[in-house]
Amino acid sequence: MAAEDGKKISHHLKQLINREKIRNHYRRIKRCEGRFRIGGVDKVMAETEEGLQRVFKMLEIEIAIKDANKKKLQQANKHHLERNPYNHY
């Protein structure tokens, strides 16, 4: 890098160190705020006997998502991709 733009190596080293300090600073802020997770679902609104309720437990979240997906029509039941290749009709 130093040969490309004519600046000293120490200048580039200071820039790299400063960049890493800033990156670590904002990572610590995200971790403290709880935004460090990359993704995922931590709560859903699920239909129960009492109506819509927030669900926080992972097993209940998975069941609620599966139930919601079953209600949607994803594809026809007799679609050729859904058939078992080992069953002969």
Residue 17 reports pLDDT greater than 90: yes
Cβ-Cβ contacts under 8 Å for 71 (sequence gap 6 or more): none
Residue ranges of domains in the chain? 2-33, 41-89
Q: Tell me what pLDDT residue 16 has.
A: 94
E strands in the chain: 44-48, 51-55
24-72 residue pLDDT tens = 999 888 888 776 666 677 888 888 788 888 888 888 888 888 888 777 7
Q: Tell me what pLDDT residue 48 has.
A: 79
